[in-house]
Amino acid sequence: MEKWVLLRKGADFKKIAKEFHISPRLASLIRNRDVIGEKAIQDYLYGTIADLHDGMLMKDMDRAVEILQEKIQDGEKIRIIGDYDIDGVNATYILSEGFAGLGAVVDTDIPDRIKDGYGLNRDLIDRALEAEVDTIVTCDNGIAAAEEIAYAKSMGMTVIVTDHHEVPFTETESGRIYHLPPADAVVDPKRETCLYPFKGLCGAAVAYKMIEVLYDVMGQDADDVDYLMENVAIATVGDVMDLIGENRIFVKQGLDMLKRTKNNGLKALIECTGIDVSHLSAYHIGFVLGPCINAGGRLDTAKRALALLQAGSKKEADLLATELKALNDSRKEMTEAAVKEAIEQVETTELKGQKVLVIFLPHCHESLAGIVAGRIRERYYKPVFVLTEAENGIKGSGRSIEAYHMYEEMNKCKELFTHFGGHKLAAGLSMPRENLEMFRERLNQLTTLSEEDLTEKVSIDMQLPFGAVTEHFIHELSLLEPFGKANGKPVFAERRVQILQMQILGRNRNVLKLKIQGPDQMVMEAMYFGNIEQFQEYLQKKYGRVEGAVMDITYYPGINEYGGRKTLQIIIQNYR
């Protein structure tokens, strides 16, 4: 069940509209996103690179760049160790490009998801020692690798951590005690004493900040690395960071750069996936390009995705892009099979009555656990962990809902894990096989989730009659982009909409095209991309018919361009 909630956040919309040359309706939508005050609205609508904060404000940034300047000037060998996901790959690329541009002796290593697992381990450090590496710089990992970093230090290495994950902590009666790794510098905006104003950066953004500062310190023009902002944008959207504050600026600027990218690999991937570059948006990063980049680390090696970004020729880039797309197509098929198995398990066991779902799929490829967990969370609107067999015990990923801080809840039973880490809404873990049932029981015993917490809320921005859907208003909505987590597309609603006509389209008969009429007598073309069978059954059951039925809907307006003709249309999202 869904609970529809109409947002009613007040402000002087006429005054805001006049001041920022927008409509009062758009002013209302901005207020609904809790963007308040002249500076915040200005940054939200028109923020540029000049509004980004100085990376030197990050704790230990001064120490990190001082060390790196010395190492680069002395010709010491630096190795970047990233992560195997879209954020880690782009962060690795940003650091390697940035260091190389300063004349550093630099190479990279990325762990194998299955053989190495997440983050730093002894094998990675031993490989660096064998290659006579002097300094390790981590990106998108390292904050939880205290033992591994202590080992590297004991072997005489210099270690710099750049990360964006939560700092590990112990809960005590007098409050939390945070545990930093014993690195020479730890740059992570989530550090308790870090004064950097924006805490929501991805790993690639932290890496970019470091390169910017390093260029300044070493007397190079930081504008030389502006082009790497397209990689920050890809990582920010792909790692599902909140599209607010600095992230919004990074993604806006990065998307503009991506449309005219000079990167052979990104050009090849855009071409290979059939994206119209003139309409490239955050959606294409999240659902087309991102999954292909991630597919390398999931089913093969993330080094393939890094090689794509580093491709020196069109021929090499085309080959790598084709391989990554093929891997992603294979990943989609494997995901569908695993999702089907997970749904069956929930529906036919005691799991269905539990508030936190812990699903064990022994044969699921471990790299797909997070995607499957996300799909199951969407279906049941509950926190979900999907676990699978691994080399030593079981491994898995979790995806959460707004009311459940996954990392903090896991911290309450951390003695069950071999390794764990993550955020409020996502986490990863490994544990002995025998701890599975205890983990499931403990999470459900400890949870304070209420039935209301487990009811998905559809937050409606405003009731919008079809007569107000104009080409001008649709163009104005683009000022709110890029859309994504924490800055979703506005949700409009209309009551008592009548279905006049309906037809099913598409090769797989998975698109519903409708002609509908609002209470203002305006007739509108509409599309629905959800479960068509369910849609028809609902109306048949409620009204005894489909055509002629009257219902409430939520929607988003758009312009359909076909054969040189422009038609206003809406995409139906929810109905009742």
**Residues 521-536: tens digit of each pLDDT:** 999 999 999 999 999 9
Give the mean pLDDT of 451-467.
96
Nearest residue to 184 via CA among 58, 64, 56: 64
Identify whether residues 175 and 317 lie together within a single domain: no
Identify whether residues 222 and 159 lie together within a single domain: yes
Looking at the domain assignment, is residue 242 inside a domain? Answer: yes
| CA 258 – CA 230 distance, rounded (Å) | 6
Identify whether residues 557 and 540 lie together within a single domain: yes
With 0-12 / 13-18 / 19 or more C-beta atoms within 10 angstroms meaning exposed / middle / buried, residue 391 is exposed
Looking at the domain assignment, is residue 344 inside a domain? Answer: no
Residues in the chain: 576
Strands 175-178 and 550-562: unpaired
- At a CB cut-off of 8 Å and minimum separation 6, what does 541 contact? none
| CA 247 – CA 305 distance, rounded (Å) | 23
Give the mean pLDDT of 30-51.
95
308: which 2 tokens? 């794509």
Give the mean pLDDT of 60-73.
98
Give the mean pLDDT of 85-92.
97
The pLDDT value given to residue 422: 81
Cβ atoms of 384 and 348 closer than 8 Å: no
Nearest residue to 402 via CA among 372, 373, 382, 428: 382
pTM of this prediction?
A: 0.91
**Residues 160-200: tens digit of each pLDDT:** 999 999 999 998 999 999 999 999 999 999 999 999 999 99
The pLDDT value given to residue 317: 98
Cβ atoms of 189 and 148 closer than 8 Å: no
Looking at the domain assignment, is residue 28 inside a domain? Answer: no
Number of domain units in the chain? 4
Identify whether residues 71 and 219 lie together within a single domain: yes
**Residues 307-325: tens digit of each pLDDT:** 999 999 999 999 999 999 9
Q: Which of 327, 357, 384 marks a domain boundary?
A: 327
Identify whether residues 466 and 498 lie together within a single domain: yes
| CA 43 – CA 23 distance, rounded (Å) | 17
**Element at 387 (helix H, strand E):** strand 384-389
Identify whether residues 417 and 270 lie together within a single domain: no
| CA angle 186–188–190, rounded 5-degree value | 130
CB atoms within 10 A of CB 14: 11
Q: Where does the pLDDT of residue 433 fall: very low under 50, low under 70, confident under 90, or very high at 90 and above? A: very high
Which residue(s) pair with 457 in the sheet?
A: 3
- Long-range contact set of residues 474-479: C-beta below 8 Å, sequence gap at least 24: 474/557, 474/558, 474/559, 474/568, 476/22, 476/23, 476/26, 477/26, 477/29, 477/557, 479/22, 479/26, 479/45
The CATH number assigned to the domain holding 384 equals 3.10.310.30
**Element at 254 (helix H, strand E):** helix 245-259
| CA 535 – CA 476 distance, rounded (Å) | 31
Looking at the domain assignment, is residue 507 inside a domain? Answer: yes
Q: Which of 255, 290, 314 marks a domain boundary?
A: 255
- Coil, strand or helix at 152: helix
Backbone φ and ψ of 133, nearest 5°? -75, 135
Give the mean pLDDT of 382-403.
95
Packing angle between helix 13-20 and helix 24-32, nearest 10 degrees? Answer: 110
What residue has token string 């892009």?
A: 321
Looking at the domain assignment, is residue 107 inside a domain? Answer: yes
| CA 522 – CA 77 distance, rounded (Å) | 68
Identify whether residues 69 and 208 lie together within a single domain: yes
The CATH number assigned to the domain holding 553 equals 2.40.50.460
CA-based end-to-end distance of the chain? 10
The sign of the CA dihedral 409, 415, 417, 422 is: positive
Identify whether residues 179 and 106 lie together within a single domain: yes
User: What percentage of the chain reaches a pLDDT higher than 70?
Assistant: 100
The CATH number assigned to the domain holding 78 equals 3.90.1640.30
The pLDDT value given to residue 189: 98
Nearest residue to 539 via CA among 565, 507, 516, 563: 516
Looking at the domain assignment, is residue 29 inside a domain? Answer: no
Give the mean pLDDT of 111-139.
93
Q: Which of 255, 280, 304 marks a domain boundary?
A: 255
Looking at the domain assignment, is residue 19 inside a domain? Answer: no
Identify whether residues 70 and 206 lie together within a single domain: yes
Q: Is it the case that residue 1 has pLDDT exceeding 80?
A: no
Quote the domain boundaries for residue 432: 349-454
Cβ atoms of 54 and 111 closer than 8 Å: no
Looking at the domain assignment, is residue 281 inside a domain? Answer: yes
Nearest residue to 462 via CA among 170, 27, 17: 27
With 0-12 / 13-18 / 19 or more C-beta atoms within 10 angstroms meaning exposed / middle / buried, residue 173 is exposed
Peptide bond into 362 cis (omega under 30): no
The pLDDT value given to residue 171: 86
Identify whether residues 132 and 89 lie together within a single domain: yes
Identify whether residues 119 and 250 lie together within a single domain: yes
Q: Is it the case that residue 356 has pLDDT exceeding 80?
A: yes
Cβ atoms of 315 and 282 closer than 8 Å: no
Average pLDDT of the chain?
A: 95
Identify whether residues 424 and 505 lie together within a single domain: no
